[in-house]
Structure 1
Amino acid sequence: MDFEDVFNQERVTRKFTNRKVNEKLLATIVRKAQQSPSLLNSQPWRAYVATGESLESLKKESKTQIEAGVKPHEDFASMLSLDWGTFPSQNMATMGASQTYFFRNKLNLFTKSNKTMFNAPAVIFLTIPKKSPAWSVFDLGIFAQSIMLIAIDQGLSIMPAHSMVSYPDLVRKYVHIPNDEMVGMAIALGYKDRGAEVNDPKYYPDRVPFEKIFKLTK
């Protein structure tokens, strides 16, 4: 696929079909993503792919905790700040308003889909060692972006979502991740359910005006 086509198709999928993803394809995607650059070639990432019964068990227990009102406790929570600067705060406020408009008749559909990890047949959980510098988070982001673009090039749809790592203890339990690794993020992979209303193709969040983020110094 042409790179521009791949890049332009990088949109989240809020509900997948039940069609399984070939295990060899999943391995190929991660193997190719290993070419991603990292600080001093540290390659701090690990990729754990959950499918089948393990994933279904994780989905079930995660949904139970969500519905019981158990507060999320992501591994990256301590690395995040809620004290955002003015610029990102304004952007998020705009995003929130547009989501409210888009989901005015679909919020229940999205909530239901979110509780089931978007019905994804495969989820890749990405980790870095707990003893990692903050820079490793940047490297993990590069690795994740590589995975998503390669997956799209292979005909798959994607959904990166922090909600899937809200309960890292459950992820470790069912995906067999060691305690010395931080569960950073998750990417759901599969085939888009084009008949699902929550996958409305007309909704694309606006981007910040280019002149607000681009500065050229000579």
Structure 2
Amino acid sequence: MNFKEVFQNEHVTRKFTNRKVPEKAIAEIVEQAQQSPSLLNSQPWRAYVLMGDALAEFKKAAIENSDNKVKPNEDFASMLSLDWDTFPSSNMATMGASQSFFFRNKLNLFTEANKNMFNAPAIIFLTIPRKSPAWSVFDLGIFAQSIMLLAVNRGLGIMPAHSMVSYPDLVRKYAGIPEDEYVGMAIAVGYIDKNAEINDPVFIPKRVPFNKIYKVSN
């Protein structure tokens, strides 16, 4: 694909097929993403991939935690407990309303897909050292976006989801992540299930009006 096609085709996938993604392809994507810029060339990121039996065991353990009402304990601050500013809060409210309309007959499907980690055949967990400046979180975001665009370019679907890092201790256990690293985020990758109702149609939330986010001074 050319860059415009890749960029315009980037959207989340809510259910993947059972088709496996070759580990070599994921490794090549992550290796290419290493070209991402970072503060002082710090390259603070690391990528841990779960697939096959290890992923199946992780999913099973995470579902058991969820069913038993185990409280999430993300390494980063819980999304729901953050004190959001008015501007992003209003954007999230709009998103919530539009999402509720879109999922009006699919909420159960989405809840089930989320619980089962979207049937992903592979999940990439991204970390930074605990001893990191806040800037490293920005670097991690750049690295993550590079991974997602490179995956889309290969014809894969992607799903960056907060829910998959709800239990970082489980992530560490099954992915072999040391205690001195924060489990920052997770990206599920796989082939899009085009027959899944939850994927049809593609849901892309409206963007904030450009004049609200852009200002130029001459």
Band the TM-score falls in, shorter-chain normalisation:
over 0.9
> Which residue identity lines up with residue 200 of structure 1 in the other structure?
D
State the Cα deviation string for residues 95-140 of structure 1 (Å, max 9, x = none). 0011111111111101111111100000000000000000000000
The answer for the alignment partner of 2:162 in structure 1 is 162
**Closer, same or farther: CA 202–50 of 1 in aligned 2, 3 Å:** closer
Distance 1:93 1:167 in 2: 26
Aligned to 1:124: 124
Alpha-carbon distance, 1:203 to partner: 2.3
**Matching of residues 30-49 of structure 1 within 5 Å:** 30-49=30-49
User: Sequence identity, in percent?
Assistant: 72
Amino acid at match of 1:194: K
Aligned counterpart, 2:106: 106
CA RMSD of aligned residues (A): 1.3
1:155/1:169 Cα in 2 relative to 1: closer, same or farther (>3 Å)? same
The equivalent of 1:153 in structure 2 is 153
Q: Match of 1:175?
A: 175
Q: CA deviation at 1:80?
A: 8.8
For 1:134 and 1:203, locate their aligned partners in 2 and report how far apart those are by CA, in whole Å. Answer: 32
Distance 1:79 1:10, change over 3 A: closer
> Residues 81 and 38 from structure 1, CA distance in 2 versus in 1: closer, same or farther, beyond 3 angstroms?
farther
Q: Which residue of 2 aligns with 1:144?
A: 144
Aligned to 1:189: 189
Alpha-carbon deviations, 1:161-187, whole Å to 9, x = none?
A: 010000000000101000000000000
Separation of aligned partners in 2, 1:80 and 1:117:
19
Gaps of 5+ in 2: none
Runs of 4+ in 1 over 6 A off after TM superposition: 78-81
1:194 to 1:66, Cα distance in 2 relative to 1, 3 A: same
- 1:124 maps to a residue whose letter is I
- Unaligned runs of at least 5 residues, structure 1: none
- Give the paired residue count: 218
Shift in alpha-carbon separation, 1:78–1:11, aligned structure 2, 3 A: closer
Q: State the TM-score, normalizing by the size of structure 1.
A: 0.97
Q: Indicate the residue corresponding to 2:60 in structure 1.
A: 60
The whole-number CA distance in structure 1 between the counterparts of 2:163 and 2:78 is 16
User: What is the one-letter code of the residue matched to 1:148?
Assistant: M
SS of 1:12 mapped into structure 2: coil
**What is the rounded CA distance, in whole Å, between the counterparts of 1:119 and 1:81 in structure 2?**
28
For residue 76 of structure 2, give the secondary structure of its aligned residue in structure 1: helix
The whole-number CA distance in structure 1 between the counterparts of 2:33 and 2:109 is 32
Q: Distance in 2 between matches of 1:26 and 1:118?
A: 18
1:67 shift after superposition: 1.4
Match of 2:91 in 1: 91
Q: Tell me which residue corresponds to 2:25.
A: 25
